[in-house]
Amino acid sequence: MLNKVDVDALDGARQAIRQDPAAGQARYGVNLAWQSGVRARVTALPMTLGDDVIERDFEWIVDEPPQLLGESAGPTPQEYLMSGVGACIMVGFVVNASVRGIEIRNLDVKVTSGLDLAGFLNLRDDAKVEMSGLEYQITVDTDADAETLAEVEKAAVEFSPNAMSVNRGIPLSGAVIKAAA
């Protein structure tokens, strides 16, 4: 164990997925139940990993500040998006550092972005709806040298499912279903 990461268990998982690729297929989900205004209660749905079903007993609130019609009962959707990307990069950084035998004493990942609300409000044709891009900064207390940390950072970002989903863009599809009366 290094940085509370079980490197042997990680190697075991890698071997299992090499032998049976279906064991590495993960599926996630959340359900958002509108509460009022622009606030929703989010519940994590059960996750599957290969044939395993993993119960996820988590709830949280998504809301906007009063300036954007909310009550600040929880983080904004954009803050959750940034936290998901930042957390995924952090996981990758810690795991990659641990595999290399690097002890981390402290780690902080900051993610920032911007948004032109004119795009969301459809006020101008030139205003983008999407965020202006995500910028991260990793601050780490460790004895590793800068070159090694750059290699760990590169692996953490390039193999981060959330960072690559945002960076490369992924398909979005859906439908609306009218509730039965």
Express each pLDDT in 124-161 by its tens digit.
999 999 999 999 999 999 999 999 999 999 999 999 99
Give domain status of residue 25, yes or no.
no
Give domain status of residue 90, yes or no.
yes
Distance CA 76, CA 66 (A): 11
The number of distinct structural domains making up the chain is 1
The CATH number linked to 154 is 3.30.300.20
Give domain status of residue 151, yes or no.
yes
pLDDT at residue 181, as a whole number: 87
Give domain status of residue 56, yes or no.
no
Mean of pLDDT values over 157-167: 97
Distance CA 88, CA 157 (A): 8
Domain region containing 115: 76-168
pTM, to two decimals: 0.93
Give domain status of residue 33, yes or no.
no
Contacts of 172 (CB under 8 A, 6+ apart): none
